[in-house]
Structure 1
């Protein structure tokens, strides 16, 4: 990592377990303000969870394939990013396909998020470990159609936008980069990429992320048992310690709560013994707040 990464001694905070879910690959937390709940997924478990603010499970929906994310929809229900494309989970519990994108079974969709205007972005990865440069970042446009906006990438992951919407952030886990772009909210166009933070793997690999009201970036670390907060110029200033080796993503909810998802599925038996809370849903009150998820605007 760069010297800037370790330029200061960061403050250290802890989390509280609120759901010992044991998720194989817990991911994609997003606060649904309209439904007043947290929506999050277990990608490999093929489940979407709805949880109360205290972690109590409101509902779980099982799918017939891997599911990368579930984004609150402006008209109710959720835009579900499945292994190969997009579907709607309606408020009446009906599932309807929206758009199939991937035909290569070695690829799947991963993380997804909506920009400040309600456009959905979702990225892909290759199932085979070590394979690089086969992923892409897509924008879901009217039609519907999936428009490639960044690629090739190796493992498309965390997304975020600055509070004023002028900057977009994107994580490629395998390449260990958190890239910043200039962003045109009117057109949904990202330009002028520059790496804001380079990760060398010594503290884990960057995974999902969110942005707080001060424009600071909270990055979950796969293999790092932590979430790191970076200032807008890329300096580490806070370490949120998590009792799970593989931390996958985070999102703000009401009252300054930061929800953190983790994964248990990639651990060896020895690691499972070392990390018995792996796969759980955690919460912290880090002294910062952030927005609820921007709802997806149907096409």
Structure 2
């Protein structure tokens, strides 16, 4: 077992873009464009900026948009809308909807997602109201066809991220405050043997989006607890807790020219007027300079 060191931060969190998102999410660094893409799920906003928060662009959809990945061999992005995967070309605004795999679950929407190292897009569905046990995990192939790989029955799905060796996939059973580890077969894209890897307490909020750094440590955003935590990949022990100036922290991703900036999204959803007055940066995009090197975001093979 490797002893993993406590990661070192080089700056306090700073606000890159006070976008006032209702439900900020989907942070993904584009290596090709040297830009950070992120979304406001409930407002159908896709946003993009450089590592300093400049060169801002924004697109609007008449649908929810929740997770995204850069396409490997073509311009543009793959992204999850409410009902399934789509391809989007920011330069032209062209949108091509692909497979919508659960028409029988009319109350669901897609939530978090990422690509694995082979370029397959993994996305979790969930109940729009965050209550019904209707969530499932899907794997989209390069043609955009989806396979339901795990009918987990969670009200809210979050993650995924992978271990450094690509043999374990982690997902968040958000309302249960649990991080689950699954055996992952990189060749077949199959998952098996889910087990609770980490369980948070009531004062830790709810685990939301997460990412893995180059040393295999997991970084997890906490909804309702105003923080990001970093965890040892072998023991799940908390190595670092990073406080943020607003309660609902939703997603984390490494990026920047050297993959050493930690980008963090947040949300205004569910905060009352007093909370919003006390947390004026709710819904903003934040960044922290670190000595940690992140892994480049996997790209979509389609």
- TM-score, with length taken from structure 1: 0.92
Q: Does 1:279 align with 2:283?
A: yes
Q: Give the match for residue 245 of structure 2.
A: 243
Alignment length (residue pairs): 290
Closer/same/farther in 2, CA of residues 143 and 253 from structure 1, 3 Å limit: closer
Question: In structure 1, what is the equivalent of residue 219 of structure 2?
Answer: 218
Residues 183 and 95 (structure 1), Cα distance of their counterparts in 2 relative to 1, 3 Å cut: same
- In 2, Cα distance between equivalents of 1:165 and 1:129: 30
Give 5+ residue unaligned stretches, structure 2: 1-5
Structure 1 unmatched ranges of 5 or more = 1-8
Equivalent-residue separation in structure 2 for 1:98 and 1:62 (angstroms)? 19
- Equivalence map 1:77-226=2 (5 Å): 77-90=76-89, 91-103=91-103, 104-131=105-132, 133-141=133-141, 144-150=144-150, 151-226=152-227
Task: Supply the distance in 2 between the matched residues of 1:20 and 1:144 (Cα, whole angstroms).
Answer: 34
Q: Give the aligned partner of residue 18 of structure 2.
A: 20
| Structure 2 Cα separation of the partners of residues 100 and 246 of structure 1 | 29
User: Deviation per CA, 1:39-89, whole angstroms, max 9, x where unpaired?
Assistant: 111001101111101112431111011111121111120111001111110
1:100 is paired with a residue whose SS is: coil
Deviations 1:161-213 (A, max 9, x none): 11221111111111211111221111111122221101233111000000011
Which SS does the other structure have where 1:174 is aligned? helix
Pick closer, same or farther for the CA change 1:38–1:185 going to 2, 3 Å.
same
User: TM-score scaled to structure 2, two decimals?
Assistant: 0.91
How far 1:143 moved relative to its partner?
5.4
Q: What is the match of residue 301 of structure 2?
A: 297
Specify which structure has the higher proportion of strand. Answer: 1
- Cα distance in 2 for residues equivalent to 1:143 and 1:258: 31
Distance 2:56 2:18 in 1: 15
Pairwise CA RMSD: 1.9
Deviations 1:267-290 (A, max 9, x none): 100110111110000001232111
**45-54 vs 143-152, greater mean Cα deviation:** 143-152
